[in-house]
A and B are shown apart, each in its own frame.
Chain A
Amino acid sequence: MSDRLVDFLLLRDYTTRWALLGTVALGVSAGVVGTFMLLRKRSLVGDVVSHAALPGVALAFLAMEVRAAGSGRWLPGLLTGAALAGLTGVLCATFIRRFTRLKEDATLAVVLGVFYGVGVALFSIAERLAARMGAIEDFTLGAVHSIVAADVQLIAAAALAVLVLCGSLFKEFSLLCFDAEFGAAQGWPMGPLDVALMGLVVAVAVIGLQSVGLLLMVAMLIAPAAAARFWTDDIRKMAAIAALLGGLGAFCGVLASHLVPKLSAGATIVLAGSVLFAISLLWGTRRGLAWRLLEHRRLGRRVARDHILRACYEAIEAERGGPLDADTSALVQTPLPIERIVELRDWSRRQLERGLAAAERERLTTSGPDGRWRLTEAGATAAARAVRNHRLWELYLIQYADIAPSHVDRDADRIEHVLGPEIISELERLLAERRPQLAEVPPSPHVIELSSASR
């Protein structure tokens, strides 16, 4: 086993070397083209293209055999046939969608089925005529180790051409995927660009026929792009990451199939791609599930912290019997009236203490030697900010949403945490217009319920 690994990594084995080069080139170009297909919401077109290529392979074989018996396995000929048939298939689908009322999914299903059916029929004829015709499985499931040096040159050249085209038309393809109608209004030939993109899909699918096979080609196109979306919000980086993941998946797949004899490389390449996708889904920095969960919990903690600080502020304010001025010294000096906070809020004493302890870890509160809680300087500033945001929002709701003042508090508790700086300044402007006398922290528009405190 380890010998095989060393052999592989040193590229000693002739077959593996070429298989590896060919599939990595394929993975990289498939990743880039797949990015555009994913963003154009045409993920399944790759599936149609690869299935539609099958009758092309069979027809090309038959044509070459008829011309000169025994020459039917010439790869460039077979791939040309595959490309023509794939392109015909995708153009059929586009045509049907455009000029009939059939929806995209139905169109793709019909075209895929018809072409694949014809392909299977032609293959059985071809096999009867000439036994030398490769088994249909070579094309449906791929046969990496049948790739030889001459094939790789062809594959690499095609992959390079695909990459160069994608690179030079990057801006145009982005526009096509984002807002084709605006692009058309600007005078860009969106129809031909769309066909060009389809052509690239056909090219990738056709060079992938031999290594991963037509059944799994769509995974090769879409999985790296879908995985890349979890790492970035920038289409350029997305294409680069998809290329990287596509290449890496192909490398790992060929490696796995080399280490475990009789394991189909087409399957392992796609499995490797799926593992990369699963990792991205969970840990991708942009929208991976794990990060989203963390983010959610962080937000929850921030909301809880702001609640505590606001409760402290309002309790002190109530104790002192009026709005506090901009100076935070009063907030820092006054010991927190725990009893009052407990009565003003729905919290138990233990919940409150736990919240204060959490805030202490962030150095927002301190418990003094006398055992009484106080706000720190930072805590006082944060509390004043939280209260200010909260009250600005309350006033905004009262003014604009016709909500009765007594109902505002609850809504504001949730929404204040999503207020951006822009809305805050907008509110300040509105409020300044309305009440020029407002201090830094406007007084609460509804009377804080002190009735319960006097119970």
Chain B
Amino acid sequence: MSPPAPFPVPEHPRTAPLSIHDMTVAYARRPVLWDIDYDAPPGKLIALIGPNGSGKTTLLKALLDLVPKVSGTVRFFGESYRSARGRVGYVPQRGSVDWDFPVSALDVVAMGLYRKIGWCRPVTRRYKNLARQALERVGMQDYGARQISQLSGGQQQRVFLARALAQDADLYLMDEPFAGVDAATERAIVAVLHELRASGKTAIVVHHDLQTVTEYFNEVVLLNMRLIATGPVEEAFTTENLRLTYGGKLALLDEVGHKMALTGEERR
């Protein structure tokens, strides 16, 4: 068994969209993430992959200061999260909120603008227009007035994406945006990802579907409590690295390996 792909050089580029240095996160003294050390290359679509319980969501939350870090530092564009907040957009898991809440899709998208609007000020027409533009980018312009419980799961996911887009960030952290969505939503999200990349922005996306990794992403981060491998899809997304990440679930892996071989041939 060959060792996992080498970790990035410890020297951290100053302006990387995201640069994590030796981060450890623990819940009730039990570490869930060990010594994460990673620099995200700018302008790439990065898939964050790992089995259930491998700490993907925790990693995102730790980056955003939502769960405390035991040790380590995180820099966004060379700054702390506190000062770089406006440049980082966050798309939480769809299941994290109550969709029966009495607000419209447009109201939710406008929440991404609250920081710009500031304390105690109402959402003025100008910001409503910005929110509407964000909805348009995910193909939801006709659903702005709809109460969020009357949207399908995929549409709800797109509303969450639009809320982050409204913020006009440079780095997006998305937690499972593709989970349980319909074909139209999947296409809309992929289109947005390409759009982001074309305008030089970076997206780190927690992704479950190993089948589509090669199709949708440029880079991968394989995680199982510690970093298994990182790098361009062609180099790091190998059957060997997946085996190290997922352990013994071989049937699944062989299938992916097969798929990889096929897409590899297509590329040639």
Query: Which residues of A are interface residues toward B (Cβ below 8 A)?
Result: 39, 41, 168-172, 174-175, 177-179, 181-188, 229, 232-235, 238, 420, 422-423, 426
B101 touches A186 (CB 8 A): no
A175 to chain B, nearest CB (A): 6
Cross-chain contact B66 with A186 (CB below 8 angstroms)? no
In this complex, what residue of A is CB-closest to B112? A186
Q: Which residues of B (92-119) have their CB < 8 Å from a CB of A?
A: 92, 96-98, 101-104, 107-108, 111-112, 114-115, 117, 119
Query: What 0/1 pattern do residues 45 to 84 of B give for CB contact below 8 A with A?
Result: 0000000000000000100111000000000000000100
Across the interface, do A422 and B184 meet the contact criterion of CB distance under 8 Å? yes
Q: Is the CB of B119 within 8 A of A172?
A: yes
Distance A15 CA – B250 CA, assembled complex (angstroms): 81
Complex interface: chain B residues within 8 A of A168 (CB) = 120
User: A170-B122, A178-B101 provided; 4 other pairs, C-beta below 8 A?
Assistant: A171-B121, A185-B85, A233-B147, A235-B102
Q: 9 closest A-B pairs (Cβ-Cβ)? A: A233-B147, A168-B120, A185-B64, A235-B102, A185-B90, A179-B97, A187-B85, A233-B102, A178-B101
The answer to whether A181 and B92 touch across the interface, beta carbons within 8 angstroms, is yes
Query: How far apart sit A185 and B102, CA to CA, in the bound complex (Å)?
Result: 22
Q: Is the CB of B66 within 8 A of A426?
A: no
Contact A426 B184 (CB under 8 A): yes
Give Cα A55–Cα B90 distance, bound, in whole angstroms: 45
B49 → chain A closest CB, angstroms: 22
Q: Does B191 contact A (CB under 8 A)?
A: no
Q: Which residue of B lies closest to A190 (CB)?
A: B66
Could you list some 25 contacts between A and B, CB below 8 A? A39-B101, A170-B122, A171-B117, A171-B122, A175-B111, A175-B114, A179-B92, A181-B66, A182-B90, A182-B163, A183-B111, A184-B64, A185-B65, A185-B90, A186-B112, A187-B115, A233-B102, A233-B147, A234-B102, A234-B104, A234-B147, A235-B102, A235-B107, A420-B152, A422-B184
- Cβ-defined contact, B184 with A171, below 8 A: no
Q: Which residue of A lies closest to B119 (CB)?
A: A172
In Å, the complex CA distance between A219 and B209 comes to 48
CA distance A337 to B152 in the complex (A): 40
**A175 CB contacts on chain B under 8 angstroms:** 111, 114
Q: Which residues of A contact B252 (CB under 8 A)?
A: none
Q: Cα distance A171–B92 when bound, in Å?
A: 20
Q: With an 8 A cutoff between CB atoms, is B198 at the interface?
A: no
Q: A182 to chain B: which residues have CB within 8 Å?
A: 90, 92, 111, 163
Q: Which of B64, B102, B107, B184 has the most CB of A within 10 A?
A: B102
Q: How far is the CB of B116 from chain A (nearest CB, A)?
A: 10
Is B261 engaged at the interface, CB distance under 8 Å to the other chain?
no
How far in angstroms is the closest Cβ of chain A from B214? 22
**Considering residues B85, B101, B108, B163, which has the most beta carbons from chain A within 10 angstroms of its beta carbon?**
B101
Residues B103 and A235 in contact, CB atoms below 8 Å apart = yes
Count of B interface residues, CB-CB < 8 Å: 33
Chain B nearest CB, measured from A424 CB (Å): 11
Complex Cα–Cα for A72 and B108 (A)? 50
Tell me the minimal C-beta distance from B25 to chain A in angstroms: 16
Q: How far is the CB of A180 from chain B (nearest CB, A)?
A: 9
Which chain B residues lie closer than 8 Å to A178 at the CB level?
Answer: 97-98, 101, 103, 108, 111
**Is the CB–CB distance between A234 and B103 below 8 Å?**
yes
Query: Do B108 and A185 touch across chains, with their CB atoms under 8 A apart?
Result: no
Interface residue SS majority, chain B: mixed
Q: How far is the CB of A147 from chain B (nearest CB, A)?
A: 32
Among A183, A232, A233, residue most surrounded by chain B Cβ atoms (within 10 Å): A233
**Beta-carbon contacts under 8 Å, B164-182 to A:** none
A238 to B64, CA, bound (A): 32
Which A residues lie within 8 Å of B184 (CB)?
422-423, 426
Minimum CB–CB distance from B99 to chain A (whole Å) comes to 10
CA–CA, A41 and B100, complex, Å: 12
Q: Whose C-beta in chain B lies nearest to the C-beta of A429?
A: B184
Q: How far is the CB of B14 from chain A (nearest CB, A)?
A: 23
One digit per residue, 1 when the CB lies within 8 angstroms of any chain A CB and 0 when it does not, for chain B 6-33 equals: 0000000000000000000000000000
List residues of chain A with CB within 8 A of the CB of B101.
39, 177-178, 235
Interface core residue of A41, A185, A229, A420 (most chain B CB under 10 Å): A185
Residue from B61, B108, B111, B112 whose CB has the most chain A CB atoms within 10 Å: B111
Bound complex: CA A426 to CA B183 (Å)? 9
Identify the closest chain A residue to B99 (Cβ): A178
Chain A residues whose C-beta falls within 8 Å of the C-beta of B103 in the assembled complex: 174, 178, 234-235
**Which residues of chain B in 140-190 are interfacial with respect to chain A, using CB atoms and an 8 Å cutoff?**
147, 149, 152, 163, 183-184
Point out the residues of chain B lying under 8 angstroms from A187, CB to CB: 82, 85, 115
A186 near B115 with CB under 8 A, answer: yes
Are the CB atoms of B85 and A186 closer together than 8 Å?
Answer: yes
Set of chain B residues within 8 Å of A41, measured between Cβ atoms: 98
C-alpha spacing A296/B115, complex, angstroms? 42
- Cβ of A39 to closest chain B Cβ, rounded Å: 7
A185 neighbours in B (Cβ, 8 Å) = 64-66, 85, 90
- Residues A238 and B102 in contact in the complex (CB < 8 Å), given A182-B90, A426-B184: yes
Residue among A172, A174, A229, A232 with the most chain B CB within 10 A? A174
The residues of B that contact A183 with a CB separation of less than 8 Å are 111, 114
On chain A, the residues within 8 Å of B92 by CB distance are 179, 181-182
Contact A188 B120 (CB under 8 A): no
- B96 in complex: contacting residue of A177, A181, A233, A422, CB < 8 Å: A181
Min CB–CB distance B102 → chain A (angstroms): 5
Residue of B nearest to A421 (CB): B142
Residues in chain B near residue A235, CB distance under 8 A? 101-103, 107
Give A346 Cβ to nearest chain B Cβ, in Å. Answer: 32
- Nearest chain A CB to B103 CB, angstrom units: 6
Give the chain A neighbours of B114 by CB distance below 8 A.
Answer: 171-172, 175, 183, 186, 188
Given contacts A171-B123, A184-B66, A185-B64, contact A229 B102 (CB under 8 A): yes
Cβ contacts under 8 Å, A184 to chain B = 64-66
CA distance A232 to B102 in the complex (A): 8
Binary contact track B34-49/A, C-beta < 8 Å → 1, others 0 = 0000000000000000
Q: How far is the CB of B111 from chain A (nearest CB, A)?
A: 6
CB distance from B155 to the nearest CB of A (A): 8
